[in-house]
């Protein structure tokens, strides 16, 4: 078949993995340089000296009322609006074309094809089989199982996929009355263990016997499964449902940074109407037909080993599976009713390891798939992160230079006004997180420093990929405050 796309071979895939970070870095730097050139076209503007004023009759301040030229402001706003509108329209067009696709070769999971194949066929009620991959999760597993059993629509089966466990994970699972699948000679981490379990389970699953993959350190909120089952029941074309995740309580200031981050991400997905970026590994459900099709297309139209559901070469298997499903035309969503509470990293070193894996995995995934209509949104997202690294780094550096170069502090009302608007946005986007989340957002500087920490992780990921450094799959031990459990990053 001439129209059949062939997945890149291991050698080509490795070469592109090495260059994907540099491509993003060069594009981001080029965009920043172009904007700087556009702003500087008119040459330096005349800057007036600061004026003096007294606030409340007590506080003498110096202030400068200079503002950027109207032309510069217009250019900046026009570029922002055009970029946002362009990305939104392009994404909508790609999604619409995918939904309407009738090509069973390139998009076998497209809604139009699925609806035509299942028209007039009743495959019974939707059932749920839960797979919980676990490596030494004796501390968190009981709460995870309990959150499943207390659902208003409990799952029909719960299977703990025990991978090379050396603690009491297997014993606890059996004592809880759930099934246990123990991996055999698995050296491919979580993805390898899930592939072994799915190879046993998928052949016996009917069209409506959906499979849920859920981390052992996650608790789903009541109503999650009921909402997901209803979605699958109402829409035969729906191939996967993902959860919106929120952070657990605790871990001080570092924990609040992460909770605010997750709240903003979930809010963004809700505003997108459930159009998901990643089917999170914390908790997602899949139709058997979707997983079988992915396994069939591995090594043919999408990267990976033929017959595997999960690509064992991917650092972030959930993100890679999301791109695989989108590449095959699948309809996937994250409804606002499907929420989960996941663990947070309790130390900066653990957070560094987790985010480095996430960031490097995201870059390698788009490197593996290349530039396609389905991956274009992910390329733009990474480009935006790269540009943000340059913008935030420049802002903080210029701020420090100003602090150390001035004998007296000068206030700029224009920039204070922009800062106030930014603070309002930061507070509003975490409002549902409570007063602690709002207070942290209102202070601005701590969250900017946290963002800079994530930017450094991003740069480290690009450097590691470019130098061909092997990824570190270490397990990070939890502190005693977390009852000694271990979390696989």
Q: Tokens at residue 100, please?
A: 């309407």
Q: What confidence tens digit (pLDDT) does each residue in 229-277 have?
A: 999 999 999 999 999 999 999 999 999 999 999 999 999 998 888 888 8
Other CB atoms closer than 10 Å to residue 64's CB: what's the count? 16
The residue-averaged pLDDT of 41-52 equals 62
Location of structure tokens 């028209």 = 119
Which among 382, 141, 375, 348 is positioned nearest to 258, based on CA atoms? 348
Q: What confidence tens digit (pLDDT) does each residue in 204-232 have?
A: 999 999 999 999 999 999 999 999 999 99
Give the span between the Cα atoms of 178 and 165, in whole angstroms. Answer: 16
Q: What confidence tens digit (pLDDT) does each residue in 414-471 have?
A: 878 888 898 999 999 999 999 999 999 999 989 999 999 999 999 999 998 888 877 7
Q: What is the pLDDT of residue 482?
A: 35
Percent of the chain residues past pLDDT 70, beyond the cut:
89
Least confident window among 215-219, 251-255, 353-357, 393-397: 393-397
Q: Tokens at residue 484, please?
A: 């000694």
Q: What confidence tens digit (pLDDT) does each residue in 54-96 have?
A: 676 677 777 777 777 787 778 778 877 887 888 778 878 878 8
Q: What is the pLDDT of residue 99?
A: 77
Q: Is the torsion defined by CA of 390, 395, 400, 402 positive or negative?
A: positive
The residue-averaged pLDDT of 285-297 equals 97
Q: What is the pLDDT of residue 242?
A: 95
| Half-sphere exposure of residue 73: CA atoms within 13 angstroms, side-chain side | 7
| 131: β partners | 159, 213
Percent of the chain residues past pLDDT 90, beyond the cut:
56
Phi, psi of 154 (to 5 degrees): -70, 155
Q: Which residue has the higher pLDDT, 298 or 34?
A: 298
Q: What is the pLDDT of residue 120?
A: 87
Query: For residue 157, what are the CA distances in angstroms to 209, 212, 240, 293?
Result: 10, 10, 18, 23
Q: What confidence tens digit (pLDDT) does each residue in 95-121 have?
A: 888 878 888 888 999 999 999 999 988
Q: What confidence tens digit (pLDDT) does each residue in 5-37 have?
A: 445 444 444 446 668 878 888 888 887 787 677
The residue-averaged pLDDT of 31-52 equals 66
Q: What is the pLDDT of residue 488?
A: 38
The residue-averaged pLDDT of 286-306 equals 96
**DSSP conformational letter for 77:** H
Q: Tokens at residue 110, please?
A: 């497209």
The residue-averaged pLDDT of 160-165 equals 95
The residue-averaged pLDDT of 292-299 equals 96
Q: What is the pLDDT of residue 325?
A: 96
Query: For residue 307, what are the CA distances in angstroms to 88, 195, 336, 341?
Result: 35, 9, 33, 32
Q: Is the pLDDT of residue 484 over 60?
A: no
Q: What is the pLDDT of residue 329?
A: 94
Q: What is the pLDDT of residue 83?
A: 79
Secondary element (H or E) of residue 254: helix 252-271
Which among 233, 344, 239 is positioned nearest to 290, based on CA atoms? 239
């Amino acid at each position: 078949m001439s129209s059949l796309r062939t997945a890149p071979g291991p050698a080509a895939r490795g070469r592109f993995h090495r260059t994907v970070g540099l491509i993003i870095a060069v594009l981001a730097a080029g965009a920043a340089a172009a904007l700087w050139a556009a702003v500087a076209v008119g040459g330096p503007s005349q800057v007036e000296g600061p004026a003096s004023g007294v606030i409340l009759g007590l506080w003498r301040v110096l202030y400068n009322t200079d503002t950027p030229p109207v032309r510069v402001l217009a250019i900046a706003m026009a570029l922002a609006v055009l970029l946002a509108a362009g990305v939104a329209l392009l994404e909508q067009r790609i999604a619409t074309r995918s939904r309407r696709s009738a090509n069973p070769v390139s998009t076998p999971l497209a809604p139009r094809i699925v609806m035509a194949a299942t028209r007039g066929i009743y495959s019974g009620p939707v059932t749920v089989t839960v797979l919980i991959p676990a490596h030494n999760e004796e501390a968190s597993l009981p709460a995870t199982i309990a959150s499943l059993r207390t659902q208003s629509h409990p799952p029909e089966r719960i299977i703990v996929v025990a991978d090379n466990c050396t603690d009491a994970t297997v014993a606890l699972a059996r004592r809880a009355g759930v099934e246990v699948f123990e991996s055999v000679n698995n050296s491919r981490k979580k993805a390898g263990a899930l592939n072994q379990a799915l190879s046993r389970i998928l052949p016996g699953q009917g069209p409506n016997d959906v499979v849920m993959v859920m981390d052992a350190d996650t608790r789903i909120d009541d109503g999650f499964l009921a909402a997901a089952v209803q979605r699958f029941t109402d829409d035969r074309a729906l191939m996967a449902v993902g959860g919106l995740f929120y952070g657990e309580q605790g871990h001080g200031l570092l924990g609040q940074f992460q909770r605010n981050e997750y709240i903003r991400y979930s809010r963004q997905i809700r505003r997108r109407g459930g159009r998901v970026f990643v089917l999170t590994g914390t908790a997602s459900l899949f139709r058997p037909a979707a997983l079988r099709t992915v396994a069939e297309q591995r090594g043919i139209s999408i990267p990976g080993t033929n017959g595997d559901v999960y690509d064992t070469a991917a650092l972030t298997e959930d993100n890679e599976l999301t791109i695989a499903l989108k590449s095959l035309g699948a309809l996937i969503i994250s409804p606002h009713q499907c929420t989960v509470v996941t663990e947070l990293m309790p130390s900066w070193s653990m957070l560094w390891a987790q985010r480095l894996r996430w960031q490097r995995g995201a870059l390698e995934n788009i490197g593996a798939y290349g530039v396609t209509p389905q991956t274009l949104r992910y390329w733009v997202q990474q480009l935006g992160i790269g540009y943000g690294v340059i913008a935030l780094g420049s802002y903080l550096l210029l701020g420090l230079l100003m602090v150390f170069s001035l004998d007296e502090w000068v206030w700029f009302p224009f920039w204070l006004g922009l800062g106030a608007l930014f603070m309002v946005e930061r507070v509003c986007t975490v409002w549902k997180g409570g007063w602690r989340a709002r207070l942290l957002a209102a202070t601005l500087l701590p969250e900017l420093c946290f963002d800079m920490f994530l930017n450094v992780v991003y740069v480290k990921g690009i450097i590691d990929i470019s130098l061909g450094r092997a990824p570190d799959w270490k397990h990070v031990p939890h502190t005693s405050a977390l009852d000694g459990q271990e979390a696989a990053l």
